Amino acid sequence: MGLHGDVKKFLRVRFPSSVGDAVPETQCDVLVCDHMWLLFKFHPDEGAATGEDLVDFIWRPMLRFFRAGGSSYACVFDVPERVPVAKAEEHKKRYGSGPRPEKPTGTCSPSSLPLPWHAALADRRARGDVCAYIARGIVARFESHADELKDKELVVSGVGGEVVRADAKGSRVWKEHAAVAEVGEGDLAVAYWVNHFADRSVVARVLDTDQIPILMLRAKLSRRVAPLHVWLVSPKTGGSDERSHGYECIPPEGHTLVDVLGLNDEMERTTRASVEEWVFWIIAQKTDFVDKIVQNLGVASTLAALEEDAARPPVSTAASAVRTMFGRRGETTSNPRRPIVRVTASRATCDSREMSIRFGSAIASAKRKRATIREDADVEFRRAWWTLLYWSYGWDGPLRESLRPRPAFGFDERGMRAKAKEDVSFPDYISG
């Protein structure tokens, strides 16, 4: 569902050297694009637009990228049935409220589209058919430009449970990357392909702000040195937001550019907190636990106060053991000024009580005093911590069992928050 809306604003103000309206200084060699948002940017003329119009809409920016000197283009789609159970609550909030959506009619073909278009995008099966049609269409377009694009590469990820690669040799299933078809969420599949192109200059063109902390974390864990930028597209269309920006490989559009490596360096160089802790704080701004803090203090005040508090020694002793997300005893820290937050691709430790104290300290040091901490802090921090661990996943295959949520995290087996006792099943048009 994206980060809290004020997080991007805070990052622009707090770290202006790394987050702003600029364009990358380096040539984009690889473009990784989450194509799900592009479906919502397409506005067909009801009754007149066709499947070929849709494919053209998707293909034109890709051809522009190749003609501007780009080498590899990875287009990513969601695989809804592959998301982990803890995402079910998010999907319920996104699709489960309000009246049952209108059912689309028609199919995606060279001469037609399923209509109404908004209903087709809200229907999982219809949306899957649309994505499959686009995938076949852009591969065919690439092959039709074989002479012009003989030294280029197109990757289509997340359609039909497989990855298709097209280059001068033709198109084929890329079996070596079958694992990414198990990732499910486009945000994380983007991170997979960014990691695959680890030694090349990469731009991730996305709409979802989640991509910022995900790639911050993945770049830190992989010790990335090649340039990496998040091109965060403005959700607005038309008017001034379609302005030219001078970066030829991407169409004119409003955007925020995040220099991921620069942001990581700026955070750790100018603050006392680690990238991992910053990412955890950013996630926590969207939990129900923090909602009341954000409502009264604001994201900027909360993050600024947490940053200030990170410079102080923790309340608990440095020798106290910290709990892992599964409740087992973890390792200890000997540096009282470093936060009790450590993440690797296979393991994480966090003391949710320590983090609750830290948020409480942030409230106490803020100028406005109306915020309070809820009693279910442990559940909500574990929820944020599970997200952090999920984002740091090391990509060696399907989501391993040890990363699947347990009722002890505050979730039941269907992804509902256990303490909230939300036992209403999902509508059949979501789970079916």
Run of H or E including 255: strand 255-259
The two beta strands, 255-259 and 19-20, are: antiparallel
Tell me the domain boundaries of the chain: 7-268, 271-399
Tell me the two tokens of residue 412. Answer: 């039941």
Q: Mind listing the pLDDT tens digit for each residue in 55-86?
A: 999 999 999 999 999 999 999 998 766 665 55
Q: Where are the beta strands (DSSP E) in 8-96?
A: 19-20, 30-34, 72-76
Beta bridge partners of 75: 33, 156
Pull the structure tokens for residue 394: 């090391």
Q: Is the pLDDT of residue 266 over 60?
A: yes
- The pLDDT of residue 366 is 66
pLDDT band with cut points at 50, 70 and 90 for residue 290: low
C-alpha closest to that of 65 among 183, 170, 192, 202 = 202
The mean of the pLDDT values for the chain is: 77
Domain 7-268 architecture = 3-Layer(aba) Sandwich (3.40)
Q: Which residue has the tokens 């269907």?
A: 414
Contact 23, 257 (CB under 8 A): yes
pLDDT over 80 at 418, yes or no: no
**Residue 33's pLDDT band (boundaries 50, 70, 90)?**
very high
pTM over 0.85: no
